[in-house]
A and B are shown apart, each in its own frame.
Chain A
Amino acid sequence: MISLYGIAFYTSTSIHSHQQQTVVVEDAGKLLPTKMKEVKSSHSTKELQKWVKQEKTISIAGMQHSQGGHTVYPYGTLLDMKRYNEILNFNPKEKTITVQSGVTWAEIQKKINPYGLSIQVMQSQNIFTVGGALSVNVHGRDIRYGSLIDTVNSFRLLKPDGEIISVSREENSEYFSYVIGGYGLFGVILDVTLHLAEDELYQHRISTMDYQEYEEHFKEKVKNDEHVKMHLARLSVAPKTFLKEMYVTDYVLAENQRKLSRYSKLNEKETVVLPKFMLGMSRYSEWGKDVFWETQKKHFQNSNGRYQSRNNVMRSDSTFMEYENANRTEVLQEYFVPVDQFASYIDDLRKVLEKEDLNLLNITIRYVEHDEDAVLSYAKDDMFALVLLINQGRSEKEIKKTEKVIQKMIDVTLDHDGSYYLPYYSYPTEKQLKRAYPRIDEFFEKKRELDPKERFKNLFYEVYSQ
């Protein structure tokens, strides 16, 4: 009996220790928990270089807010870049900064704000790492500086063979347009030199309008008015005004810039109890969505005329959106549609959504200028970018349900010469990917050419590259 137990004990512990050798990692989408071999992180470039040479399969991660498994791969090694976070060089005169890729926008803002400088292009929130932002070629509220790729002077890349090279538009330029918006498939971005902007004082201009007036408002009062530097709109998801009512925030350069110093102190976390509660209600009921929309609208209308520094606009709070639920999660979608097709696009989108059951919580709209520098460029024209926040279940059935609706929405988007953003869950079909990104085959071919051993892999590559 005892020896029998001994055998069972040994078997169990050896299986257990084998299981323990993996760690489960998931990204912000919470739909893809993935077993990985190990998580590695370091301050040292040498160590990163050593790991790239010795590990067979590597996924690179920053804050892991990509939601399609872009930062994970089964039984691969996760290179967590968050500790690789030094600011290497800051030149206020030249308005440039060189940072390691694990540095967050927040850390840059803290460093450059006292010098009256600001970031040119970033997401609306400042929690992300520079490396991660580059890998997904982000855009934000700024409407004057293009995509992030336009603000990058140069970077150093740790290639799959362990060699480190400098990449800019002049040097090793073939890498430039692949690595930025390259989803970590070409190597590890080590440090980046970015162009900076002047910090400025903006005045909020809020207008409420029907979606049909938006295009004209944007063309006349935003695009053609060089005093407007940033822009953000919201489209209603509340049942009473569904995809019809909008309100728009234009950030207009204040007439008296000397007042900037009064507003330049970086704001810290805001209290989020009320918006969190309201968003919570809108998750569960149509009524809640109406209340949330009306309250939010009033709140924004009251902020008409308010002054805010550029740096403070670029650090908006997202903690109220944090969502912990064992069965459900919140995922993002982003669709790009040419400015002059906006109204007809929204009409078609509404037709789809009125028939479908999708718990849509929020839509924000930004603007991106035509820019095809990155191989995987989403801005094939001057586009509006619609970010949709969707609450969904985590079960397979719920994923299928959301997939069906999202594929329909993407079809509508593509029919309007639009595109969609890649850092999200792999809902789109391969066909849709090819329509949205005509250069996708070229992208994957180049990946295999520059990384023949496929050292850098992630689930996005796994799903779409075959």
Chain B
Amino acid sequence: MNYRTFVTIQSLLMTASSMVFPFYLLLIRNIGDSYSQFGLAYGLFALTGALVHPIIGRLSDQFGDRTFILLHTWGMAGLMLIVPIIETVTALYLVQIVMGILGAVQKTSEKTVLARQSEGVQTGTKIGSYHLWTSVWGAIAVMLTGYLIDFLTIGSLFYIASFLYMIAGGLILKSVTTTSEIQEKKPVQL
């Protein structure tokens, strides 16, 4: 996986997640019948994320970034297929926990890849450009969805997001495995 593929993938992820985020909140609100359930669902996500971070950090060194990004993309692609059919609060809590874990995976791998890319040279510039592109895609996605939602159902929005995650997952599968050794010899270019 080179840097360009990485940014493309991350932009896809950002697009997908920004697209569904507001509607996902709405969904959580509607499934739970009180604000306390809403709070619990959201808190579960954050708490699971927090608790698994140390473990994921350690595992990331062991299995490599690629595996982790693979896990995140395919995991989210699958999860987005479950979200539109959730009916009970318990199912929602479970989804929130899984999402917490997958979120932590993404956060960690995103940072480790970035950290490994630059070896301390021009780190700021690289991170700057990385955030520029991913955020631009996120912003475009949110705005587009605002228009699209008049024509689409909320359910289909989750399916589109799942599809985007799937494409991102496919791109990683297609990309060649680059070990960190090779990466060191041949630093990827923007």
* A195 lies within 8 A of chain B by Cβ: no
**Least CB distance, B65 to chain A, in whole angstroms:** 19
Choose among B34, B74, B81, B169 the residue that contacts A9 (Cβ–Cβ < 8 A).
B81
* B187 lies within 8 A of chain A by Cβ: no
CA gap between A190 and B185 in the complex, in Å: 84
* A326 lies within 8 A of chain B by Cβ: yes
Q: Which of A13-64 contact B (CB under 8 A)?
A: 13, 15-16, 19-20
Flag if B155 contacts A15 (CB, 8 Å). no
Name the A residues within 8 Å of B169 (CB-CB): 1
Flag if A16 contacts B78 (CB, 8 Å). no
Choose among B33, B34, B77 the residue that contacts A5 (Cβ–Cβ < 8 A).
B77
Flag if A326 contacts B35 (CB, 8 Å). yes
Q: Which of A314-336 contact B (CB under 8 A)?
A: 326-327
Name the A residues within 8 Å of B143 (CB-CB): none
- The count of A-to-B residue pairs whose CB atoms sit within 8 angstroms is 40
CB nearest to A8 among chain B residues: B81
Flag if B84 contacts A12 (CB, 8 Å). yes
Name the B residues within 8 Å of A327 (CB-CB): 33-35
CA gap between A15 and B84 in the complex, in Å: 9
Choose among A2, A20, A394 the residue that contacts B33 (Cβ–Cβ < 8 A).
A394
* B153 lies within 8 A of chain A by Cβ: yes
Flag if B84 contacts A16 (CB, 8 Å). yes
Name the B residues within 8 Å of A11 (CB-CB): 81
Name the A residues within 8 Å of B184 (CB-CB): none
Interface size class of B (residues with CB under 8 A): 20 to 34
Name the A residues within 8 Å of B163 (CB-CB): 9
CA gap between A2 and B169 in the complex, in Å: 10
Flag if A1 contacts B173 (CB, 8 Å). yes
CA gap between A1 and B74 in the complex, in Å: 9
* B170 lies within 8 A of chain A by Cβ: yes
Name the A residues within 8 Å of B77 (CB-CB): 5
Flag if A12 contacts B34 (CB, 8 Å). no
CB nearest to B159 among chain A residues: A13
Flag if B33 contacts A9 (CB, 8 Å). no
Flag if B155 contacts A16 (CB, 8 Å). yes
CA gap between A16 and B159 in the complex, in Å: 10
* B92 lies within 8 A of chain A by Cβ: no
**Contact flags A228-239 to B (C-beta < 8 A → 1, else 0):** 000000000000
Flag if B155 contacts A20 (CB, 8 Å). yes
Most buried by B among A2, A12, A394: A12
Flag if B153 contacts A20 (CB, 8 Å). yes
CB nearest to A13 among chain B residues: B159
Known pairs A5-B78, A12-B82, A12-B84; list 19 more (Cβ under 8 Å): A1-B169, A1-B170, A5-B77, A5-B166, A8-B78, A8-B81, A9-B81, A13-B159, A15-B85, A16-B84, A16-B85, A19-B85, A20-B153, A20-B155, A326-B33, A326-B34, A326-B35, A327-B35, A395-B34
| 7 smallest beta-carbon distances between A and B, as pairs | A12-B81, A327-B34, A15-B85, A16-B84, A16-B155, A16-B85, A8-B81
Q: 29 pairs across A/B with beta carbons < 8 Å?
A: A1-B74, A1-B169, A1-B170, A1-B173, A2-B166, A5-B77, A5-B166, A8-B78, A8-B81, A9-B81, A9-B159, A9-B162, A9-B163, A11-B81, A12-B84, A13-B159, A15-B85, A16-B84, A19-B85, A19-B87, A20-B155, A326-B33, A326-B34, A326-B35, A327-B33, A327-B34, A327-B35, A394-B33, A395-B34
